[in-house]
């Protein structure tokens, strides 16, 4: 290679490795791009979403090529310069974390419809096809409807029912959750999706637990629910719950990107990120155009949850959302992604939380101090001494 040549790493690489290699390449006069690539097999054939970060000079040199290679949508090719350093790989990592959340939420919708609603695979295929014509229109919803239609060519029945319930992973979801923890960003939906993949891997343990804990399973309640359920209402409720949960998951991912952008001074353009995810990539969805517009309206938007349009939709859907989560809990069907999303929504929208008690506990056992709501400063209280004194006075009275 000669000085001025460019190396492009298009793998799912840890962003700090990209930054280290970038510096090493620069010492040799070489340009370096860490470029996230999403699209899978179809993206490879028809154009992926590309997320190049690193040397702007390198990006400028190959911009025309990348724009021709990338997927095309109505507002341009699905590629943009992400930012300096390892930003391209970091953005792709968070994209994958959001993808984990999306897939988990869809699997929970399937679980509730199948095991609480008693719907067949043929019915599920039609439902997901219908959902793909509305607000949930996306690559993942589309392929899910296709999956439910495929018959097993080795035995009777549908292929999806013959697949072992152990989910694989490459590690980007784990990195996303680790980064959320490092940056103190709440990402419970994405974390729940990762935990579910871990639990899915414990197949033998789960089979044993199914026998040991069968008395705790609510099979009778599930049966009763399935017999008396209003299927039409359940289907619509699940659609609304899935959509509201999805907003929370994306909000968590975008908040993580913002936190990292501030830490690294990347100046990420969140509306532009949503735009390049509209085509080619695994999480492509009509929904992303609305995220793009939300950040165009307010580049400093604190969270998608409080964008006027998304906030209105979540409030309108919360009754259905709560019904689905409550029904699943009553039926013994786990919906950790939807539950985490709903808890995130409820926690975020509360002006006052019970965290005051937690802080009092911390002050009691560790003298960590606390702040008051009625005056400035930090305070420490001898809680145990005062409590015992109060008890003694009460006994004397």
**Which residue in 345, 337, 319, 340 sits closest to 108, CA to CA?**
337
User: 99, 174, 278, 292: which one is catalytic?
Assistant: 99
Between helix 172-182 and helix 87-115 the angle, nearest 10°, is 110
What is the DSSP secondary-structure string of 225-246?
HHHH--HHHHHHHHHHHHHHHH
Q: Which two tokens stand for residue 197?
A: 């993949």
Q: Which two tokens stand for residue 292?
A: 């793009």
SS3 79: strand
User: 13, 92, 108, 292: which one is catalytic?
Assistant: 92
What are the residues whose beta carbons fall under 8 Å from the beta carbon of 167, sequence distance 6 or more? 196, 197, 200, 201
Q: Which two tokens stand for residue 293?
A: 């517009």
The alpha carbon dihedral of 185, 16, 92, 76 has a sign of positive
99 a catalytic residue:
yes
Find the helix or strand (DSSP H, E) in which 23 lies.
helix 15-27
Q: Work out the angle at residue 290's Cα, subtended by the Cα atoms of residues 243 and 171, and round it to the nearest 5 degrees.
A: 65
Active site residues: 92, 99
């Amino acid at each position: 290679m000669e000085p001025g040549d460019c190396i492009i790493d298009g793998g799912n690489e840890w962003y700090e490795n990209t930054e280290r290699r970038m510096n090493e390449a620069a010492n040799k006069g070489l340009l370096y791009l860490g470029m996230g690539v999403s699209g899978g097999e179809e993206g490879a054939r028809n154009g992926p979403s590309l997320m190049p970060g690193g040397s702007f000079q390198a990006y400028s040199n190959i911009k025309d090529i990348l724009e021709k290679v990338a997927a095309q949508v109505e507002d341009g090719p699905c590629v943009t310069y992400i930012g300096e350093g390892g930003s391209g790989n970091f953005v792709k990592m968070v994209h994958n974390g959001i993808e984990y959340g999306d897939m988990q939420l869809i699997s929970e919708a399937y679980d509730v419809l199948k095991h609480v609603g008693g719907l067949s695979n043929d019915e599920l295929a039609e439902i997901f096809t219908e959902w793909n014509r509305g607000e949930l229109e996306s690559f993942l919803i589309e392929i899910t409807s296709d999956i439910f239609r495929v018959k097993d060519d080795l035995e009777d029945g549908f292929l999806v029912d013959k697949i072992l319930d152990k989910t694989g992973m490459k590690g980007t979801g784990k990195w996303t959750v680790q980064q959320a923890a490092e940056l103190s960003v709440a990402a419970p939906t994405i974390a729940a999706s990762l935990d579910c993949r871990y639990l899915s891997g414990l197949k033998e343990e789960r089979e044993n637990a199914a026998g040991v804990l069968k008395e705790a399973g609510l099979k009778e309640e599930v049966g009763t629910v399935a017999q008396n359920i209003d299927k039409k209402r359940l289907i619509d409720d699940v659609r609304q719950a899935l959509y509201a949960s999805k907003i929370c998951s994306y909000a968590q991912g975008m908040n993580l990107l913002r936190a990292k952008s501030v830490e690294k001074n990347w100046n990420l353009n969140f509306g532009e990120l949503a735009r390049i995810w509209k085509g080619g990539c695994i999480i492509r969805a009509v929904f992303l155009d609305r995220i793009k517009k939300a950040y165009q309206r307010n580049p400093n938007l604190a969270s998608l949850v409080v964008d006027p349009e998304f906030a209105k939709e979540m409030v309108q859907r919360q009754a259905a959302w709560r019904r689905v989560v409550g029904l699943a809990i009553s039926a013994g069907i786990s919906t950790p992604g939807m539950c985490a999303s709903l808890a995130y929504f409820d926690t975020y929208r509360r002006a006052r939380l019970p965290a005051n008690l937690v802080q009092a506990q911390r002050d009691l056992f560790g003298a960590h101090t606390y702040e008051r709501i009625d005056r400035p400063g930090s305070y420490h209280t001898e809680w145990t001494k005062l409590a015992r004194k109060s008890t003694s006075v009460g006994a004397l009275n």
